[in-house]
Structure 1
């Protein structure tokens, strides 16, 4: 067994590998860029080596710097995590020349599966179902249009070396192909150094199912069941679970056997994932097709670990050291259900725009993962950030992964809702409310999912989870309780008033356009004539507290905002004001501040790079027309006109780095 390994990655996956290595008695080496000098994974490792500036192409993506760090520290092997150099065959070859072991698959498997065009040919030869499409070289946009016409719309354009949702465009017609083909090529080149694109048929009502495989160097390959990854946004996974509510035992066997056959065809060892697309329109479940094989550990590997009880990182290390798998396919079981949600630095209330900045507050329901595959009481957090740290524009926007395990799917989902209530994040936009809404959504609970779930269920964007009338009344009571508690505290300040005035028990609460009559009492409150029994532990200054309403426990987050209160619970933000009932009639006389009109301005919705201006001064534009393209966190975002008008002034230049709300252009 290795005595020391180097982790050629950062963030939560570096922390996760370090913890398993530490449990195995293996010393660890971290490598870090300028941006990560104070990151948790650097502090956790036994040694750390600085490898360059913040941009990945000047640090984490340079093989020579990783190899130099190995030589400097005496690391015998490298675990690549995922992303960065994890699927670069030339990196594995360079390590081999220096006598350094790669904790991953052989170079031939990486090369074969890393090229999506070649991998489809190999999959077909191995007897694996493949999606109809064009897997040759595409000359230009006109050629892409001809191919798409022949396959039949809709089609998916994908960067050949792509992954993680980058370099993908769905096209429903010729216009979409012409608009998206060059952008797909650019994203592929910028993110992966390869601008080749392939086109395939888009499967209707698609579900994204993937099979976890793991093989040793002695020819043994096992499949560790499936994961359902259909809840996606812009082809980026948001929720993953194991097992899938759609897959039957017979489907699992067929998918698993095809995944093993493909792995064996390329002499695969280590952990890998065969991704499949399944037509939800086929009730038999027979219509499943090979998408790609990821020759690395997946972000969502914890849900497989939770239901199988197998530490996949440990097996990767043991396989790399030459050990033989001690288990057989019959030993791979399914125990319970596990769900993972990805907490991203993106704001669902602003169209899921990327958000960067400092984590002013950061609190999770349990401490970051301590090694138990199922966490604490079924809740596990894989995190790579800490309070006071910064989420920068240079890397993936994922803050943490929240994994829950339960005996049943509903139990795992209920745990997600309660745990997400207790995630405190301040300083940047995040998607915690959105994840909670997904966990509560009736369609998600039914298991009737496709990769179009988010677009279909939230066509107008996200405004918060649906709330029952009972919950709204409870929120009104909590806001009244907070106001009462704070006023009572203010009345006790020394020498401020003679005696301690009572704030009273009768309140009028204005909540999101509705008005509620609240009477606070012992052991609960009466709201609009309905009694709510409950407990309350909130005190002024508390950001997070646990309360109950009619026997149900909630985690609530409260913040004072002038005369108003902002309260968050169960995936929804509430804004309310509590006034003593005798003063409520006077509130209508207060003058409200009117926000400035920005409808004529094209504002940059996120920090990013202005890649392209599609218009010039004096141009007439129509609603929906592309005006500018901004790149943020390696993704290109097309900004479109919201109304018809004429470009009056251009305020930014191509290649300029913009801040949030920077004025790009003005319309008249």
Structure 2
């Protein structure tokens, strides 16, 4: 592909900024990065040819500052701006500001962004072009939304009119829960998009989230690159994506891709975009599907499409942005194999997916494509979303790909902070996921069982401990690693540390004896930095030797003397629900923290009366900060 621009500003951060920079450099274009203060030494900054510092720490002060981003592009001689995903990528005012400044916006036109950014207008466009939609209605006020909800019926979905990505989305099954859901959704959408308008749609039970990747040029040519299944989600945000979808047959694929292309043509769409659908359970021999929204940008999960087509979507975006026609036709697209992407997030699934900012000490995923914004030694800041990297596995067919993924996940190393890697291991080993039965409700419904399965079998821990003890020599296992007076080790599986005691041929894990036959069937191999890979009949797992746990201020961040309610993590106070003198009960929400693009309800540990409220909305707090005192 020919060089299309001399220099391009990357108006994003993290793994997608790295992804874009790599393609720019491959094509011989100068990659300029606009970076915030927390990101000034990031992997993206290290790879870019030039970095412009955006003074500030939060997204609002930096990456969402249209004037600052445009100024960075102009000052460095850039001809185009690639917005990546999220941040400014769907903002019509940003696309228009680029055009006004003589810069090429790598994406659709401002007019198309305006049309598709209004989810109700996009829904109306779908109806006009014979694309199925779920029953829905809108309302400007809370009272009008309540009336719309009664018209649509429960269960229903509250959705943001002016944004996507799962933000503001709420499932409401009980009419009594509607008012607080509206309040929370308005607060989140206002913070994310500057627009608190909502609408309601009928909730489709046991649906699969399936999307179609579309490419379109300015010459009227459009084609699709197949579908992706994104049904494994937490809090309406995707965790696992794959292509092709396990529930889409040839007939349904023709219907879905045809609907997507009709809609994008009607919208005058140019560049890469995705049309999202809900696919329901079979009815009379076929699966119904309903339009969700258009994502007018590159998707987080685009690598799985690249894996099975052999195409570089970023390079194609750049070519389309210059006005070039698509370099191939629909019949030229070849689909080869099956690919699955796992999003590695800095979060703790055992603590309600609480974000876990910190410093990475290891990040390796042998045998897989790794799209990452970080390397070992990098800090994952709390100011932005929790995505660390995307692990992509490809095989000849789905069954083989699942087997490859299990091996890759078992041997992957993501150390230094809590991540969802153990959960991914449990997902790929689950029979329902293997059978293609995981709907959008599946992960949260099965989460307790998946979390239980995510912890390694005791035999794996015992095998690792036995190997480490047998290898003990001066300088290998110092006294800091051994419990005083015992042959005990603490091993971390990514979800927390567990105590393993070794006495001759016998072993116990947290006091429970380990079956001798199971221990004999486990094979442990020493890696580096006190890490051990254990192969068991239940699958491979990687364990790391850690120091005995101690009670530290950080570990007790969410605790305090009786009556003190403290922040379990750093973040922005999104809401305060109590005032001095209010009576609260056990579990009542007293405040809401916004951290890494997710809201976290802070609840009362017991009944009492509010003595003092120490924070206010929009205040930024550190982990362990005193929020509310009870008496």
TM (norm. structure 2) is: 0.88
Residues 193 and 534 of structure 1, relative CA distance in 2, 3 Å threshold = closer
Q: What is the aligned counterpart of 2:602 among 627, 639, 653? A: 639
**1:348-367 → structure 2 map (5 Å cutoff):** 348-359=349-360, 361-366=361-366
Asked whether the equivalents of residues 354 and 606 of structure 1 are also in contact (C-alpha less than 8 Å), the reply is yes
1:13, CA displacement in angstroms?
0.6
Partner residue in 2 for 1:133 = 136
Instruction: Determine the structure 2 residue equivalent to 1:484.
Output: 470
Change in Cα spacing, 1:49 to 1:147, as seen in structure 2 (3 Å) is: same
Distance across 2 between alignment mates of 1:48 and 1:563: 41
Report how far residue 462 of structure 1 moved: 3.1
Q: Summarize deviations over 1:421-440 as a string: whole Å, max 9, x none.
A: 33333443211111111111
**Contact 1:190 1:634 survives alignment (8 Å):** no
1:345 touches 1:431 (CA, 8 Å); kept in 2?
Answer: yes
Q: What is the match of residue 341 of structure 2?
A: 340
Q: 1:254 to 1:662 in 2, by over 3 A?
A: same
1:652 aligns with 2:614: yes
In structure 2, relative to structure 1, the CA distance for the partners of 1:358 and 1:528 (3 Å cut) is closer
Equivalent residue, structure 1, for 2:554: none
Shift of 1:642: 5.5
In 2, Cα distance between equivalents of 1:287 and 1:416 = 30
**Aligned-pair distance for 1:607?**
1.6
Deviations 1:190-216 (A, max 9, x none): 111111111111111121100000011
Contact (CA 8 Å) 2:363, 2:415: kept in 1 or not? no
Give me the whole-angstrom Cα distance separating, in 1, the residues matched to 2:478 and 2:196: 68
1:371-426 per-residue CA deviation (whole Å, 9 max, x = no partner) reads: xxxxxx5x100001122322222211101111110112132223323222333334
Query: Which residue does the alignment assign to 1:441?
Result: 430
1:429-468 equivalence runs, <5 A: 429-459=418-448, 462-465=451-454
* Structure 2 equivalent of residue 586 of structure 1: none
TM-score using structure 1 length: 0.84
Give me the whole-angstrom Cα distance separating, in 2, the residues matched to 1:82 and 1:336.
26
- Partner residue, 2:544: 558
1:289-333: CA deviation from partner (whole Å, max 9, x where unpaired): 111001100000000111111111111111112221122222223
CA separation of 1:139 and 1:304: change in aligned 2, threshold 3 A = same
Partner of 1:567: none
State the Cα distance separating 1:226 from its structure 2 match: 0.4
Which contiguous aligned blocks of 4+ residues in structure 1 show a shift greater than 6 angstroms?
488-493, 595-599
Unaligned runs of 5+ in 1: 367-376, 494-502, 517-526, 565-594
Q: Is the 8 A contact 2:344 2:388 kept in 1?
A: yes
Structure 1 residues 491 and 64: CA distance shift in structure 2, 3 A? closer
Aligned to 1:611: 574
Find the counterpart in structure 1 of residue 508 from structure 2: 510
Aligned to 2:373: 384
Tell me: CA distance 1:68–1:206, structure 2 relative to 1, closer, same or farther (3 Å). Answer: same
* Pair 1:41-2:47 in alignment: no
Residue 592 of structure 1 is matched in structure 2 by none
Task: Please identify, of 627-636 and 195-204, the stretch whose mean Cα deviation from structure 2 is larger.
Answer: 627-636
What is the DSSP-based 3-state SS (H/G/I as helix, E as strand, rest coil) of the residue aligned with 1:108?
helix
Could you tell me whether the CA contact under 8 Å between 2:412 and 2:542 is conserved in 1? no
Q: Write out per-residue CA displacement over residues 13-33 of structure 1, whole angstroms, 9 at most, x where no aligned residue.
A: 111011112112222111111
Q: Aligned residues, how many? A: 599
Indicate conservation of the 8 Å contact 1:347/1:429, yes or no: yes
Q: Say whether the 8 Å CA contact 2:583–2:610 is kept in structure 1.
A: no
1:196-244 Cα offsets, whole Å, 9 max, x none, are 1111111111211000000111111001110000111110101100000
How large is the RMSD of aligned CA atoms in angstroms? 2.8
Give the structure with higher Rg (CA): 1
Q: Distance in 1 between matches of 2:24 and 2:317?
A: 11
Matches of 2:278 and 2:196 in 1, distance apart?
24
Residue 472 of structure 1: aligned partner: 458
Structure 1 residues 646 and 305: alpha-carbon distance in aligned structure 2, compared to 1, 3 A threshold:
same
2:489 matched to 1:532? no
Deviation at 1:281, TM superposition (A): 5.2
Q: Which runs of 5+ in 2 are unaligned?
A: 480-500, 551-557
Note closer, same or farther for the CA distance 1:543–1:115 as it changes in structure 2 (3 Å cut): farther
Question: Does residue 124 of structure 1 match 2:116?
Answer: no
Q: CA deviation at 1:68?
A: 1.8
